[in-house]
Structure 1
Amino acid sequence: MGALSVATRSSTTAPGGEIRSLTGLRIVAAAWVVCFHFSFTPGNTWTGSWEPLRPLVASGGLGVDLFFVLSGFVITLTYLDQLGPRPGVGAVARFWWARVCRLWPVHALVTSVFGFWLLYKATRVPDGQIAYQHLQPVVDPLHWLEQMLMVQLWHRPSHAGASWSGPAWSISAEWLAYVCFPLLALLLWRLRSAPPVVTGAIAVGCMAPLAWFALTEGGAAFPYAWALRIGGGFLAGAFTCLTVRRIPRTERSDRAATWIAALATAEVLLCVWWSATRGAGGYAGVAGVTFPFLVGALAHSTRGPSRALGTPAMVQGGRLSFALYLVHVPVFEVFWTLMGWYPRLAPGSTLAGLLTPHVLLLTVPLAYVLHRFVEEPARRWLRDLARPRHLAPARHETADETLRVLPATLAPRRPGTPEAPSVLPVPAVEEGVVRPVVPVVRTRPRVPSGTP
């Protein structure tokens, strides 16, 4: 089979080179986490409506692990060629600054505003229970600085109480992965030509420990288990990227990837509903071993689940997902607190039942406002701030640092087979900034020796 045509690939990739299916997958992961946290809302007005989906909602914590795999894939795809061969100080600094520009603005704003709420709540509650966490966070200037530096989790054995807003623990974990990535890139670069079966097996193996703990103990509940989650997920995504880079994109491989994505999705659902038969516990974590298959297949294919996730609505949702992930718990916690303070909002009351779904829906426009007026403008301003003045401002990039289109032909061809015409995207790099790819037609694809 020949390489896929430009028209076929463009259905699941944006003009700027964004892998639309992976962007769409982000909102699925975020919504999974949001629904999980919302299920803790007091009251039983909507219990009957949630019940059919309870196994899926109860396993929403897996959305964080899916985020980690996605992050490892995207960062490797975007930065490996820059940092892998020889990561100079300038390239590493630009990479770290790009990640700060991506994570910090919304995190800093949401954390600081929510911190004021916690301080106010501390004046109203006598028992010191200011946050809906097992361990209460400490709200003072020193810990605020720790939150702003995104290092609040690094020295703690558990994410409970580490962040003022519960989900922000994963932001601290991801920041640690980004700090370590330049060293990881050296290893990944030397394994870039390894057979796909090898890198694919490593990717699945990185998720295996979490799956084993989920199967045997109902989850990884030991000190610093968060390090296993971010380490396993990020590495799994990175090696999945190496795998996909080595597989030629043909009609046959596209169909196979579509089936793999569909089967991986079905396997996740099967594990989720199986976990419900085991009772309380994180048994659904066994589904984590399917995430490398799911992410890799969605990145490679152009039809089926990839096409569905690549629709404009899903892609827009994916771009809002980071803001949604950070803002939803503060909104929920304010609502839960008001339910306890005011009798008319008490759990089970008519007003509480009416407002409950509206509070859930409110997180979406709030996420849009944060994305549109805080996240994107702040990211561009911070990136331009560090750019030499003689350079023109960079064109607008996607929320994930421009997910580059995977080439149609990435693996060396077999000896004796003719070279079919293909279109290889050529990323333009200026001062470490990955620009949107520009397709360049070549009748004889150039496959350098030893490169994917």
Structure 2
Amino acid sequence: MGVVRTGEIKALTGLRIVAALWVVLFHFRPLIWEASPRLKEDLAPLLNAGAQGVDLFFILSGFVLTWNYLDRMGTHFSGRATLHFLWLRLSRVWPVYLVTMHLAAAWIIFTLHVGATPSADVEKLTAISYVRQLFMVQLWFEPFFDGTSWDGPAWSISAEWLAYLLFGGIILVIFRMARVTRARMLIFLAFVAALPPTLLLLASGHFYTPWSWLPRIVAQFVAGALACAAVRRLQIGRRGQHISGIAAVLLTAAMVGILYYYDANPVAGMIDPGGLVDVLFMPLVVTLAIGVGTLPALLSTRLLVYGGQISFSLYMVHEIVHTSWNWAVQEYQIDLPKSVQKIVVVGLIVAAVAGAIGLYHGVEEPARRWMRRMVDFRDVKHDKHTGPPGAEGGRLASIDHARDTRPPQSSARAG
């Protein structure tokens, strides 16, 4: 085995806010295009693929959970350890999930009693739907995720919850694979594991097909777990770390290039070409995890790390802000000049970020500490974390410090 590593990987924390903003801008596209047609010409290929940010989250979840739990849960199955893990996952995602779920419900009810434009989601507010939303299983009964959740983005949390329930078995397999498999082979297996959504896209031309959410979460989550097992086995010197940092930049450029290429050269029958970039997410996460300088350094800055910490709250609250404005425009027939529309779009994004900050400090962190104390019986105020979905809030030392203090090696090797 290579050097056992633990701790927060700050570049991956920073990557979370990038993924979250990608999703936010994807949902805000109609407003952005209306306010600035020029931006549509320039950014449409990039923002039209913003839904793929969810797949990036799935890979990050598998990676980070494996990073933190491979040694703790991989050696043998323990019902107590599994229940402890699931409770910690609940403490991370459930409080914000519950608040935004009820905010979305309150908003739907508000539109029913105010104005003449009730939300189309009123019919979804049923007792059965409430129970399914409450226990985060609403997606499990539907072939498509659209319309499954009162707060639209919550579908992916329902998918993540399924992955968490499977994690106790997944980690046992990953641990044993990591003991007998070289890092290079583990990276190859991670790449193969991430392929099913792309293969289905190439076969049908559609990224969103019946039950396609299931291979998305399972494949990307397992790919992230295998990638983490590979990184934990890697022994890499400073030169290799710098090369990895450069590779992360090149991978990012390749993703953008692919999106613009297929926009300029559409393939007949392929409706969702943006899904092709998913195959580069796993290599990107690996290079950011082991790389230094360039993009890893940028994502590790204090501002982006903080952004990563509030990214879950932003992901969960932004669509409420978006749909509220859309309702107001329809209800009051708001017609603004382009110059004012630009200000409104920026204001809505700022409002979503402000709401995320409020949720993070007022709900997410206090509730997480409260729920953790129920099982840990200790103060967890200063826990480090990478931000949900898919991150553990344990008391961890930073890997970045370990990188700085480890003696440099002349070359990287996998084994």
TM-score range, shorter chain: 0.7 to 0.9
Inter-partner Cα distance in structure 2 for 1:39 and 1:401? 25
Aligned to 1:35: 25
Aligned partner of 1:253 in structure 2 is 240
Instruction: Give the distance between the partners of 1:111 and 1:230, measured in 2 at CA.
Output: 21
* SS of alignment partner, residue 17 of structure 1: coil
Residue from 225, 230, 240 that aligns with 2:217: 230
Which residue of structure 2 lines up, in the alignment, with residue 435 of structure 1?
395
1:397 is displaced (CA, Å) by 1.5
SS at match of 1:157: coil
**For the residues of structure 2 that align with 1:442 and 1:121, how far apart are their CA atoms?**
57
Query: Could you say which residue in structure 2 is the equivalent of 1:374?
Result: 363
User: Does the CA-based 8 Å contact 1:26-1:318 persist in structure 2?
Assistant: yes
What does 1:263-412 correspond to in 2, within 5 Å?
Answer: 263-277=250-264, 278=266, 281-343=271-333, 345-346=334-335, 352=341, 354-388=343-377, 392-400=378-386
Per-residue deviation, 1:73:
0.2
Match of 2:152 in 1: 166
Q: CA RMSD in A?
A: 2.8
Listed as ranges, the gaps of 5+ residues in structure 1 are 4-12, 403-431, 445-451
- How far apart are the structure 2 equivalents of 1:42 and 1:264? 27
Report the residue type matching 2:396 in the other structure.
P
Q: Relative contact order: is structure 1 or structure 2 higher (C-alpha 8 Å, sep ≥ 6)? A: 2
One-letter identity of the residue aligned with 2:125:
V
Partners of 2:19 and 2:53 within 8 A in 1: yes
Deviation at 1:126, TM superposition (A): 7.4
Displacement of 1:349 after TM fit?
Answer: 7.4
CA distance in 2, matches of 1:226, 1:401: 22
Distance 1:346 1:339 in 2: 8
| Residues 289, 433 of structure 1: alpha-carbon distance in 2 compared, 3 angstrom cutoff | closer
Structure 1 counterpart of 2:219, one-letter code: G
Are 1:340 and 1:346, in contact at CA under 8 Å, matched by a contact in 2?
no
Is contact 1:268–1:287 with CA below 8 Å preserved after alignment? yes
Deviations 1:228-278 (A, max 9, x none): 110111011001101111110312321231232122111111111123132
- Post-superposition Cα deviations, 1:179-234, rounded to whole Å, max 9, x if no partner, equal 10001111011111211122111111122222233345333332210001101110
Q: CA deviation at 1:44?
A: 2.1
Shift of 1:127: 8.4
1:51 Cα deviation (Å)?
2.7
Structure 1 residue 50 displacement after superposition: 3.8
For these two proteins, the number of residue pairs brought into alignment is 395
Measure the CA separation in 2 of the matches of 1:442 and 1:252: 15
1:265–1:192 distance in 2 versus 1, CA, 3 Å: same
Q: Does residue 113 of structure 1 match 2:91?
A: no
- 1:204 is matched with 191
Partner Cα separation in structure 1 for residue 395 and residue 142 of structure 2: 38
Q: Whose helix fraction is larger, Structure 1's or Structure 2's?
A: 2
Could you state the TM-score of these two structures normalised by the residue count of structure 1? Answer: 0.81
Q: Which amino acid aligns with 1:385?
A: M
**Structure 1 CA distance, aligned partners of 2:135 and 2:292?**
39
Of all paired residues, the percent bearing the same amino acid is: 33
Q: Are 1:47 and 2:37 matched, yes or no?
A: yes
Structure 1 residue 143 corresponds to structure 2 residue 103: no
Does 106-115 or 246-255 show the bigger shift? 246-255
Partner of 2:139: 153
Contact 2:309 2:387 in 1 (8 A): no
Q: Deviations over 1:45-101 (max 9, x none)?
A: 322234311110111011000010111100111111111111212111110000000
C-alpha contact 1:323 1:368 (8 A) present in aligned 2: yes
SS at match of 2:50: coil
**CA 1:359 to 1:127, structure 2 compared with 1: closer, same or farther past 3 Å?**
closer
Distance 1:442 1:302, change over 3 A: closer
Which stretch shifts more, 113-122 or 35-44? 35-44
Assess if the C-alpha contact under 8 Å between 1:21 and 1:298 holds in 2.
yes
- Asked if structure 1 preserves the Cα contact closer than 8 Å seen for 2:145 and 2:155, the reply is yes
| C-alpha separation in 1, matches of 2:46 and 2:194 | 20
1:182 is aligned to 168
Looking at structure 1, the residues matched to 76 and 9 of structure 2 have their Cα atoms a distance apart, in angstroms, of 27
Structure 1: how far apart are the matches of 2:405 and 2:37?
A: 59
1:439-450, aligned counterparts within 5 Å?
A: none
Q: 1:144 to 1:298 in 2, by over 3 A?
A: same
Change (3 A) 1:395 1:327: closer
> Residues of 2 paired with 1:293 and 1:115: CA distance?
39
Q: Provide Cα deviations, 1:140-185, integer angstroms capped at 9, x if missing partner.
A: 2332221121111112111011101111100000011001000111
Summarize deviations over 1:350-369 as a string: whole Å, max 9, x none: 75554232112211111111
Q: Write the distance in 2 (CA, Å) between the matches of 1:442 and 1:23.
A: 21
Distance change >3 Å, CA 442–CA 106, structure 1 → 2: closer
Equivalent residues of 1:137, 1:164 under 8 A apart: no
> Are the equivalent residues in 1 in contact too, given 2:96–2:363 (CA < 8 A)?
yes
Where 1:166 maps in the other structure, the secondary structure is coil
The SS at the match of 2:34 is coil
Q: Give how far 1:396 is off.
A: 2.0
* Partners of 2:138 and 2:158 within 8 A in 1: yes
Equivalent-residue separation in structure 1 for 2:159 and 2:27 (angstroms): 19
Q: TM-score, normalised by structure 2?
A: 0.88
**Highest Rg: 1 or 2?**
1
5+ long unaligned stretches in structure 2: 408-414
Measured in 2, the distance between the counterparts of 1:325 and 1:155 equals 23
Q: Is the 8 A contact 1:152 1:163 kept in 2?
A: yes
